[in-house]
């Protein structure tokens, strides 16, 4: 049972640790354009952080044969990795906070809807692959955010109670998932305005504004 104290930080990846949104948008846009579908930046931002099956069904409908779905997913992933490799930029304050958590022996995990290969490209590119004690990725759960599955899996992998976790998110669906998991949540306004993230326990404009000493206060 949770004792209501900080044990672990669970990190979303895209839009929180690294600025990758434009590469995801370009990869999706090229594919959907070939399929004759319109996919605006507003559509992308509304679904950013959600699983690929949710995004594909939104853009192309529900009647996609399984083999075509797999082809679309694999092609999007290849195109995204091609675009992002060599262009990985950390978002302000993220890497510094991750390293500070490590210095203070606070458990950390990635909890991202992305597949493992995409996650590894980012954390290796930023030189922080040794900073995480667990990774929970989208292919390991049956439901994407706003379902809490991905965060509950990350907590299980770390061996901590959900109530002792803080999630760091930028997406509306991710904040909802964190709260559904019974976790505290810090939302950073890298992708959405404050008005869309009000379910979070703390909202910041940059992780540079978050000090490690601020985290236990969330449980008071």
* Distance of alpha carbon 107 from alpha carbon 165, whole angstroms: 9
Q: Tokens for 94?
A: 């993220």
Q: Are 145 and 139 in contact (CB under 8 A)?
A: no
Phi-psi region of 105 (alpha: psi -120 to 50; beta: other; left: phi over 0): left
Question: CA 123 → CA 18, 19, 45, distances in Å?
Answer: 9, 12, 22
Let me know: does 129 contact 120? Beta carbons within 8 Å. Answer: yes
Q: Which two structure tokens, joined as six digits, stand for 156? A: 């299980």
Tokens, residue 104: 């203070």
Contact (Cβ atoms closer than 8 angstroms) between residue 15 and residue 25 = no
* Residue 186 DSSP label: E
- Residue 184 is given by DSSP the state E
Catalytic residues: 12, 14
């Amino acid at each position: 049972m949770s004792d209501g104290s900080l044990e672990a930080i669970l990190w979303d990846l895209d839009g929180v640790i690294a600025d990758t949104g434009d590469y995801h948008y370009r990869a999706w846009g090229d594919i959907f354009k070939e399929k004759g579908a319109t996919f605006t930046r507003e559509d992308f931002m509304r679904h950013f952080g959600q699983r690929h099956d949710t995004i594909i069904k939104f853009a192309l409908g529900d009647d996609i044969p399984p083999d075509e779905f797999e082809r679309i997913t694999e092609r999007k992933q290849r195109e995204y990795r091609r675009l992002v490799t060599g262009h990985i930029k950390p978002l302000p304050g993220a890497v510094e906070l991750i390293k500070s958590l490590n210095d203070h022996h606070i458990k950390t995990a990635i909890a991202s809807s992305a597949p493992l290969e995409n996650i590894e490209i980012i954390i290796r590119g930023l030189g922080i692959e040794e900073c995480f004690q667990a990774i929970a990725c989208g292919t390991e759960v049956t439901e994407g955010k706003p379902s809490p599955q991905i965060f509950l899996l990350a907590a299980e992998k770390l061996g901590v109670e959900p109530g002792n976790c803080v999630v760091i998110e930028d997406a509306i669906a991710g904040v909802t998932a964190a709260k559904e998991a019974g976790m505290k949540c810090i939302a950073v306004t890298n992708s959405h305005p404050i008005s869309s993230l009000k379910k979070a326990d703390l909202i910041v404009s940059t992780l540079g504004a978050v000090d490690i000493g601020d985290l236990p206060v969330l449980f008071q």
